[in-house]
Structure 1
Amino acid sequence: MELIADHVSVAGLHGPLLLPTSLTAGPGRVTLVAGDPGYGHVALALALGGRAPLMDGVVTVDGDASEALRRRHVALVDVPDVTAPEGALSVRAAVAEQLALAGRPASRAATRAFLAGHGVEDQGERFESLPPSTRTTLLMRVAASRAATRVLVVAAPDRLGGDPTDWYAAAERLAAEGLTVVVQVTHGTARQLALPATYELGVAA
Structure 2
Amino acid sequence: MRVALQNVTKGRRGQVLPTMDIVFESGHARFIRAETEQRPTVLGLIASGRMRPDSGTVTIDGVADAGALRRRVALVDAPAVSDPPPDVAVGAVVGEELMFAGRPATPRHARRWLRMLGFDDLIRTPIGVIDPAARVRILCELAVLRAEVEALVLVAPDRHGGRPDGWWRIASEFADRGYAMLVIVGGAAAAVISTMPETVHAEHLSDAGAAAQVTPAAEEDAR
TM-score of the aligned structures, taking structure 1 as reference length: 0.91
Q: Which residue of 2 aligns with 1:78?
A: 77
| Displacement after TM superposition at 1:65 (Å) | 0.6
Q: Which residue of 2 aligns with 1:53?
A: 52
Residue identity matched to 1:95: V
Q: Which moved more, 1:90-99 or 1:25-34?
A: 90-99
Q: 1:181 to 1:104 in 2, by over 3 A?
A: farther
The gaps in structure 2 that reach 5 residues or longer are 208-223
Q: Which residue of 1 aligns with 2:98?
A: 99
Q: Which residue of 1 aligns with 2:108?
A: 109
The gaps in structure 1 that reach 5 residues or longer are none
Task: Give the 3-state SS of the residue equivalent to 1:3 in structure 2.
Answer: strand
Tell me which stretches of 4 or more aligned residues in structure 1 moved more than 4 Å: none
Instruction: Among all aligned residue pairs of Structure 1 and Structure 2, give the percentage whose two residues are the same amino acid.
Output: 30
Q: 1:89 to 1:25 in 2, by over 3 A?
A: same
Q: Distance in 2 between matches of 1:102 and 1:58?
A: 29
| Displacement after TM superposition at 1:127 (Å) | 1.2
Q: What does residue range 126-165 of structure 1 map to in structure 2 within 5 Å?
A: 126-165=126-165
Q: Distance in 1 between matches of 2:101 and 2:43?
A: 21
| Displacement after TM superposition at 1:201 (Å) | 2.6
Alpha-carbon RMSD: 1.9
Q: Which residue of 2 aligns with 1:69?
A: 68
* 1:198 and 2:196 matched: no
Task: Give the 3-state SS of the residue equivalent to 1:145 in structure 2.
Answer: coil
| Displacement after TM superposition at 1:202 (Å) | 4.9
Residue identity matched to 1:49: S
Q: What does residue range 162-181 of structure 1 map to in structure 2 within 5 Å?
A: 162-181=162-181
| Displacement after TM superposition at 1:139 (Å) | 0.4
**What is the CA deviation profile of residues 105-149 of structure 1, one whole-angstrom value per residue up to 9, with x for unaligned ones?**
322222111111122113112111111110111101111221100
Residues 42 and 155 in structure 1, CA contact (< 8 A), matched pair in contact too: yes
Q: Distance in 2 between matches of 1:177 and 1:95?
A: 21
Task: Give the 3-state SS of the residue equivalent to 2:9 in structure 1.
Answer: strand
Q: 1:201 to 1:105 in 2, by over 3 A?
A: farther
Q: Distance in 1 between matches of 2:91 and 2:28?
A: 30
Q: Distance in 2 between matches of 1:187 and 1:103?
A: 38
| Displacement after TM superposition at 1:7 (Å) | 1.0
Residue identity matched to 1:173: E
Q: Which residue of 2 aligns with 1:3?
A: 3
TM-score of the aligned structures, taking structure 2 as reference length: 0.84
Corresponding pairs, count: 202
Q: Distance in 1 between matches of 2:58 and 2:14?
A: 21
Q: Distance in 1 between matches of 2:98 and 2:131?
A: 20
